[in-house]
Amino acid sequence: MRNANGRQAPALVLFDIDGTLLRRAGPHHREALVEAVRRVAGIEASLDHIPVQGMLDRDILATMLRESGISDRMIRKWMPLLVRRAQWIYARRCPEDLSEKVCPGVAPFLESIRAAGALAGLVSGNLTQIGWKKMERARLKRYFRFGSFAESGPTRGHLVKLAIREARAKGWIARETPVALIGDHPNDICAARQNGIVAVAVATGIATREELAAHRPDFLLDDLREATLPGLLR
């Protein structure tokens, strides 16, 4: 995304979704994964015992099937169907308005990013259509130029790498442009470290401030009301 003057964005800020931009957004996402497994594999599986926080949706689906005794070969065969079905189900069950689920400080911080001519993107373990539907219903979609989601790679670190690569390839940022990843889980901190970018942790998800601090992010915030773009990328 180039500015009105034709210059590249001065910074790229990547955001996780669940626990970072939105919290307590309802059971509809989990229900879509469970229902997809039921319809595609004919299995009654549960997420109750799976620590889904920080996981990619495809890994969650695979874990559900594997724990039900399904072979890896069948999981690979069914995965494209599961992905399509889960997204289809979520689009029809997602609440019309998620704006009340937006975490504190998110909208003003996104406005400040846009005002500075910087670029905002998503890096999420959500499946693509689920992630964008959440942003649409939360009235946040307009702030994000692009995203990297669960179907695109095997790990969160790989998703971050793909997002940075896309932004550079399309000329939105230069190779030396500062990049930050904002997330609420230790996996987000690790993903930032793996890519040599600024790791910003927010204590708005399930992980406690102490758990996040143990992974030594560059910045640890209670929520995005404490965030400023110059402060995070100085």
Instruction: Flag whether 4 is in a domain.
Output: no
Query: Which one of 93, 114, 144 terminates a domain?
Result: 93
CATH (domain of 212): 3.40.50.1000
Query: Which one of 93, 123, 145 terminates a domain?
Result: 93
Match 């896309």 to its residue by tokens. 166
- On whether the CB atoms of residues 89 and 36 are closer than 8 A, the answer is yes
Q: How much is the pLDDT for 43?
A: 87
Query: Which one of 40, 75, 93 terminates a domain?
Result: 93
Residues 112 and 198 in one domain: yes
| pLDDT, mean of residues 169-192 | 96
Q: What is the pTM of this model?
A: 0.92
Residues 51 and 124 in one domain: no
List, in sequence order, every residue forming a beta bridge with 219; answer none if it has no partner.
200
41 is in which domain, residue-wise?
A: 28-93
Half-sphere exposure of 135 (CA within 13 A, CB side): 25
Helical segments of 27-127, H only? 28-41, 57-67, 72-93, 106-115
SS (H, E, C) 129-171: HHHHHHHHHCCCHHHCCEEECHHHCCCHHHHHHHHHHHHHHCC
Instruction: Flag whether 7 is in a domain.
Output: no
Residues 121 and 217 in one domain: yes
Give the range among 45-54, 57-66, 210-219 with minimum mean pLDDT. Answer: 45-54
| pLDDT, mean of residues 219-223 | 97
- Mean pLDDT computed over every residue of the chain: 92
Residue 233 class from Cβ within 10 Å (0-12 exposed, 13-18 middle, 19+ buried)?
buried
CATH (domain of 53): 1.10.150
Q: How far apart are CA 65 and CA 130, in angstroms?
A: 20
| pLDDT, mean of residues 171-189 | 96
Q: Give the model confidence (pLDDT) of 112-130 as tens digits.
A: 999 999 999 999 999 999 9
Q: How far apart are CA 38 and CA 221, in angstroms?
A: 39
Residues 163 and 57 in one domain: no
